[in-house]
Amino acid sequence: MSQLVWLITGCSSGFGELLVHHILSRGDLAIATGRKLDKIKHLERAGAAALELDVTHSQQEINDTVAKAIAIYGRVDVVVNNAAYVSMGGWEDIGYDQILAQFDTNVFGSIKVTRAILPHLRERRSGTMVFISSLSGWHGHSFVGAYAGSKFALEGLVESLSRETEAFGLKTLLIEPGRFRTKLLSPGNLQVMQSNIADYAEASQTHVNGLAQEDQAQPGDTQKAVKIIVDLVRKEGCAAGKEVPLRFPLGADCFSTIKEKCEETLNLLEEWKDVINSTDHDNDTTWG
């Protein structure tokens, strides 16, 4: 495959930062973006182009930044929607503004960036749109409902997008990492709303303590993950000669949890199939 130009959001740490380094090591060109330019200057020194991009800004501001990105090398081949954070809190504790902010970054940010780049990709009839989702897009863990909700929403939006754009030769890829050793759970990124309600207090505290202990102790090796992501886009390495699916889970924990949910769903459909299939109008096969 020829040299690709990548545009990545959320590059100050984690998957975004490591993706930039790995992309450059494979001989591709990277445009790293972050909310604050000084946080990604080290990536510029490593050979990437760097632009300030806050995914919560207006559509017009993001359009302008993406236009600057396209102008750097004359094109963008791959966009990676990576910017995200975790907001932790129970349903009765977390406020509307916090939920809105969670969706503003994790969902609407991806929408705005993709809307900005999509006309360019569609006109060229070529390109790949990558979205960093999560195991939480399959499984809603307790006390992180806002985060899980944002990832469930992203999954549905992106599945629809893939069907809208595949006729133009565009590839869409949903990466679903489990627990990887990034800074997602670090104090600077994780936003915690601990419960003050007696009924939830103990469970909430246990969850907060668990996340704190897991920070930088997650089982997933992020370096291995980013290599797989680049392989999937470039159809090299583990993806050579294979049809790359829309969804791609990463991590042993992700495998087991998704497998269990799929099996539970199949069992439900089988056990309740007579009831599920009993709701059509009698002797009427037309749409009502």
> What was the pLDDT predicted at 117?
98
Q: Higher-confidence residue: 287 or 261? A: 261
How far apart CA 266 and CA 104 sit, in angstroms, is 34
Average pLDDT value for the chain:
92
Domains of the chain: 5-272 (3.40.50.720)
Orientation angle between helical segments 59-73 and 109-124, nearest 10 degrees: 40
Whether residue 238 has pLDDT greater than 70: yes
Q: Return the ∠ at Cα 44 (arms to 41 and 45), rounded to 5°.
A: 90
Dist. CA 193–CA 105, nearest whole Å: 18
- Write the pLDDT tens digit of every residue in 29-48: 999 999 999 999 999 999 99
Query: What's residue 100's pLDDT?
Result: 97
CB atoms within 10 A of CB 279: 6
Q: Write out pLDDT tens, residues 135-155.
A: 999 999 999 999 999 999 999
pLDDT-based confidence at 287, cuts 50/70/90? low
Cα separation of 9 and 16, whole Å?
A: 7
Global pTM reads: 0.93
Q: Which of 73, 85, 96, 147 is catalytic?
A: 147
Residue 66's pLDDT is 98
8 A C-beta contact, residue 184 and residue 86: yes
Confidence of residue 60 (pLDDT cuts 50, 70, 90): very high
Phi, psi of 31, deg, nearest 5: -115, 105
Instruction: Quote the percentage of the chain above a pLDDT of 90.
Output: 80
Cβ atoms of 131 and 175 within 8 Å: the answer is: yes
Catalytic status, residue 147: yes
For 159-214, the pLDDT digits (tens) are 999 999 999 999 999 999 988 866 665 566 667 778 888 898 888 887 777 666 66
Task: Give how far the C-alpha of residue 196 lies from the chain's centroid of Cα atoms, to the nearest Å.
Answer: 31
* Sequence-ordered alpha helix ranges (H) in the chain: 14-25, 41-45, 59-73, 96-103, 109-124, 145-165, 198-214, 222-234, 252-271, 273-276
